[in-house]
Amino acid sequence: MAIASSGSISIGNAAGSGRSINVELGRTHNTANSRMEADLVTTAVTGSTPRGNDTVPEARPHAFSEWYSYTHTQDFGTPTYYVRTGTGTSDVCVEIIHQIIANEPTGSANTIFYFKLNGTVVEFYMKPDHTNRYEPTVPNQITSLSEYASYWNVAGEQQVNGFTGNFSSGFTPLKIAQLDVGSVSGLQARISATVIDGTGTYVPAVTGYTIGDGGTYDTGWRTPHSSTLYGISPQGLTMPQGCFSYQLREPYHRMTMQIKATGYNTKTLNNFVSVHDVTASSDGCV
C-alpha cells in the first residue's frame, strides 16, 4: 500500500487526506467506523472469498491475531543437471558392465551416489566403485575379466568409458546435479533408491562414505557436509557359481534426490537411473 505523504497515518481522517488508509482503499477519508477485519478485506478483494464459503466480510482471516505463527514457505531455485535424468530403463545415466570367468566366481558391480556441501551449493555425485568387484581375488584364478564404466550426458549421448580413472586405481567422482540453496537454516538432503527392473541389491559399506541409514537404499535426511559424504550404492551381484555354471544380473535402480530447509518447500530433483550388468561364469572347480 502506498501512502501519498510522510507523517503519521490513520485509517480515518486524523492524519489528513494524504496519509489516510481510507483514501488508499478508495473510501472517503473521513469515513467513520472503518474496520480492518471487514472493510479492509472487502475493499482489497471485492468479489472474492479469501477463505471459506461466506461473503467477503465474513471470510477469514479478519483479525491480525489470526496470522500469529503463520509461516510463509517458498520454493528453491532450479537445479543444474550434468547427466541424463529420467525415471525408466531407457533413461540410464550410468552403466557398469562386469564380466568374469574363473573357477567358481562371484561377480559384483556398484556405483556410489552421494552428496556434499560446497559453500551454499548442495552437490550430487556418482562414482563407479573399483573396490567391490569379484571373487576370487587371486589373479591366476581368473581366466577372463572385462569391466566397463559409461555415462550419458544431458544430451543423451553415451560416453563409453567416459569416467576419469579405471577399475585398478579408482575413478574420479562425476558431478550429476547441484542446487544453490543460499543462506538457509535447517538444511538437509537425502538420497533414496528403488529397483525398477531385474534383481538388484545395495552395498552396505564403502570406505570413505556414509552409506545408508537404517537400510542401504536410503540415506535418510542428513545435513550436507563438505567432507562427510552421505550416499547409497546400488549394486548388481551374482551368487557364487559352482563348477561350469553361469549367472547374469542386470538390475536397474532409480535414485531420488531431495533437499529441504526451514521455510522452504521440499525440493525433489529429477530422477537418475543406473544399470549394472554383471556376469559370472565358472570354467572349472576349486
Question: Is the domain of 120 the same as that of 55?
Answer: no
CA dist., res. 209 & res. 215, Å (int): 15
Question: Is the domain of 170 the same as that of 205?
Answer: yes
Question: Is the domain of 94 the same as that of 47?
Answer: no
Q: pLDDT tens digit string along 104-152?
A: 899 999 999 999 999 999 999 999 999 998 876 566 688 999 999 999 9
Domain extent for 54: 17-67
Q: pLDDT tens digit string along 70-88?
A: 667 899 999 999 999 999 9
Question: Is the domain of 60 the same as that of 174?
Answer: no
Question: Is the domain of 180 the same as that of 51?
Answer: no
Question: Is the domain of 27 the same as that of 163?
Answer: no
* 256 vs 24, more confident: 256
Looking at residue 1, its pLDDT comes to 46
Question: Is the domain of 180 the same as that of 250?
Answer: yes
Q: pLDDT tens digit string along 266-276?
A: 999 999 999 99
Domain count, the chain: 2
Helix intervals (H) in the chain? 21-24, 41-44
Q: pLDDT tens digit string along 198-220?
A: 999 999 999 999 999 888 999 99
Q: Is residue 75 a part of any domain in this protein?
A: no
Q: Which of 226, 284, 221, 246 is nearest to 99 (CA)?
A: 246
Question: Is the domain of 221 the same as that of 87?
Answer: yes
Question: Is the domain of 54 the same as that of 104?
Answer: no
Question: Is the domain of 185 the same as that of 52?
Answer: no
Question: Is the domain of 138 the same as that of 30?
Answer: no
Whether residue 61 is preceded by a cis peptide bond, meaning omega within 30 degrees of 0, is: yes
Residue 17: pLDDT over 70? no
